[in-house]
């Protein structure tokens, strides 16, 4: 099995105290692991979700990641995990074949309970599922699944349109994402790649865009660029 690449990008941003808190915008970082057009690649990304005026992360209802135009997935390259959500919660990450793991990372959530409980940190396992990237969240060092997100693969777009509510402490009663750092490994079967970069490089960069829709009806978009090289140069 090719081991998933885990990217740790640093400590999670601390929330300001309530008296000094202010709304902060969505932040997004993205990069392919190669600069060559039309090449097999992995990627790394960082998402820091926007906060409200009190400094609390805003609950996310939907999320869409537009990879650089021309990026493509070949799902025949990596075996698929067909485990249901129930099986993942019962059996943990072992419910998916090791060969279906395509990445990993770490994250932090806000349960609404406040310090010293929040923020709560965890690990992320990324699996290939049929027409999906399956993100399974676990406590640090554990394989017991505590949260599941399934992003649909639609061409060069990854999308989840209805993020379920995860219970949290009152008064809000919901656990919300604060930061997510993940990566996908470079996977091939010898002749084909699971993820391939665009076949052309213009202006020496490729751009990815992230659209977040929040439960309060607002939305934010952020973009990030990754360098590319024209093979003819």
| Predicted local distance difference test score (pLDDT) of residue 74 | 98
Q: Is residue 10 part of a domain?
A: no
| Predicted local distance difference test score (pLDDT) of residue 54 | 87
Instruction: Give the burial class of 171: count Cβ atoms within 10 A of its Cβ; 0-12 exposed, 13-18 middle, 19 or more buried.
Output: exposed
What is d(CA 201, CA 48) in angstroms, rounded to the nearest whole number? 28
What is d(CA 91, CA 12) in angstroms, rounded to the nearest whole number? 29
| Predicted local distance difference test score (pLDDT) of residue 164 | 86
Q: Is residue 8 part of a domain?
A: no
Q: Is residue 184 part of a domain?
A: yes
Q: Is residue 200 part of a domain?
A: yes
Domain count, the chain: 1
Q: Is residue 232 part of a domain?
A: no
Which parts of the chain have pLDDT scores under 50? 1-19, 233
Q: Is residue 3 part of a domain?
A: no
pLDDT tens figures, 153-181: 999 999 999 898 889 999 989 999 999 99
What is d(CA 134, CA 47) in angstroms, rounded to the nearest whole number? 17
| Predicted local distance difference test score (pLDDT) of residue 231 | 62
- Structure-token match 């943990």, residue found: 92
Q: Is residue 178 part of a domain?
A: yes
CB 222 within 8 Å of CB 207: no
Q: Write b or e for each residue in 196-229: b if 16 or more Cβ atoms lie within 10 A of its Cβ, otherwise e.
A: bbbeebeeeebebbbbbbbeeeeebebebebebe
| Domain span including residue 53 | 27-227
Q: Is residue 20 part of a domain?
A: no
């Amino acid at each position: 099995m090719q081991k998933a690449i885990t990217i740790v990008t640093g400590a999670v941003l601390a929330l300001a105290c309530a008296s000094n808190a202010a709304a902060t915008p969505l932040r997004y970082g993205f990069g392919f692991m190669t600069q060559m057009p039309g090449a097999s690649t992995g990627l790394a990304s960082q998402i820091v979700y926007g906060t409200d005026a009190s400094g609390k992360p805003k609950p996310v209802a939907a999320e869409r990641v537009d990879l650089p135009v021309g990026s493509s997935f070949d799902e025949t390259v990596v075996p698929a995990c067909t485990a249901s959500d129930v099986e993942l919660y019962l059996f943990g990450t072992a419910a998916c074949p090791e060969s279906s793991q395509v990445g990993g990372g770490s994250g932090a959530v806000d349960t609404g309970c406040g310090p010293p409980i929040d923020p709560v940190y965890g690990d992320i396992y990324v699996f290939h599922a049929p027409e999906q990237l399956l993100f399974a969240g676990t406590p640090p060092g554990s394989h017991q699944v505590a949260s599941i997100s399934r992003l649909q693969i639609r061409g060069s777009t990854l999308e989840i349109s209805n993020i379920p509510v995860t219970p949290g402490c009152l008064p809000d009663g919901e656990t919300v994402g604060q930061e997510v750092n993940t990566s996908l490994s470079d996977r091939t079967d010898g002749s084909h790649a699971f993820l391939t970069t665009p076949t052309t490089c213009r202006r020496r960069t490729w751009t990815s865009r992230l659209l977040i829709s929040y439960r309060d009806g607002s939305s934010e978009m952020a973009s990030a660029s990754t360098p590319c090289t024209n093979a003819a140069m």
